[in-house]
Amino acid sequence: MQEVKRVEVDVLSRIDGLHRDEDGSSKRMTHYESGLPSECFYPVDFFAFYKDLHDQIYDHHRGGFVISGHENEYGVDDGEFVDCIFNPRQKKRHNEYIKMILRYD
């Protein structure tokens, strides 16, 4: 559990550095009651945020996650990605999301 918390804090800190308003202030929200930083960012471009989140995990914490390969429609290895659980309502867009985060390292 400590390792999960460490990864969460690190990734959120890295994402916080990437998602800033024009004046340099963080887009990260705070919890109303405690004033502590939330896991939520607003406003946020979902696709940019999703790709940044994936890249931070892939680049800095991939050892703790499942890395999957992806084959294109011709059966050729098309790269790899941190395996994700996608919202079932977005099933038609799964390949779009995967192609957006594929890495060719």
Question: CA 76 → CA 16, 29, 55, 70, 73, distances in Å?
Answer: 36, 42, 23, 8, 7
In whole angstroms, what is the distance from residue 67 CA to residue 58 CA?
Answer: 8
Arithmetic mean of pLDDT, 37-52: 92
User: pTM of the prediction?
Assistant: 0.84
Closest CA to 70 of 37, 88, 95, 38: 95
Does pLDDT of 59 surpass 90?
yes
Looking at residues 43-71, what average pLDDT do you find? 93
